[in-house]
Structures are given as C-alpha cells and as structure tokens.
Amino acid sequence: MNIAIIGTYGLPLPLDDFKKILPKPKDTKLIFGTVPVVDKQVWDYALKHKLKYFGIVPRLTMTENIRNVIQEADKVLIFWDGKSEKTASAIAECITMKKDFTLYTTYSNS
C-alpha cells in the first residue's frame, strides 16, 4: 500500500507512533515530496525501518507537489497544526480526488 505522508512545516512528526499507524512493513511504501523538513523525517524513518519509499522531487509549485504526492497514494496521512494553509489544501485535494486520508491534528512527539 502506498502511504503518502504530508505534514506542516515546523511540526515534528510523531515517528514513535508510526508503527501503530502504518500497515505491515512488507505492504508499505512511503511517499513524500511536499516539505523538505517533513520529507527528511519520513525518509529517515523509512531507512531506519527498512521500508520502501518514493520521494517526489519538489520542482513544481507547492500545490502541484501536494497533488502529485496524493495522486501516487492509496492512503494519505496528514499531520496538521490547524493553521497551515498548504496543509489545509492537501486535505481539500484528498477530498477532491476522493482519496482515503486520515487527519492528525493533536499529538505530541516526546
């Protein structure tokens, strides 16, 4: 299953919770390519846990990058601070594209 990870810039991902959130490792490929800081966290997690991954090079506008990442996914995990307009646009894009997504708005990374 292709899982896109989209997060808000400056908001650390709850990496300790990913094992509970993600499907079985052999069935999972992580997709990223929207915000470099978030992408690095996802990439590091994939390498550490020996997961397949696919990074989309962010060469286009942020909106186009978000659309491309979502398009490649079977499911989208969105980590949002409740303020970021770009992350909000990812939610809207998932709805428009009828993509399965889960929204995480409150969590701690301790």
Number of domains in the chain: 1
Q: Domain for residue 22, yes or no? A: no
Q: How confident is the model at residue 109 (pLDDT cuts 50, 70, 90)?
A: very low
Supply the DSSP string of the chain, one letter for each residue.
-EEEEEE-TT----GGGHHHHS--GGG-EEEE-S-HHHHHHHHHHHHHTT-EEEE----S-HHHHHHHHHHH-SEEEEE--S--HHHHHHHHHHHHHT-EEEEE-S----
Let me know if residue 21 belongs to a domain.
no
Look at residue 34 and tell me whether its pLDDT is greater than 70.
yes
pLDDT of residue 33: 86
Examine residue 110 and state whether it is found in any structural domain, yes or no.
no
Q: What are 38-91's pLDDT values in tens digits?
A: 888 899 999 998 889 988 876 778 888 899 999 999 999 999 999 999 999 999
pLDDT at position 107: 54
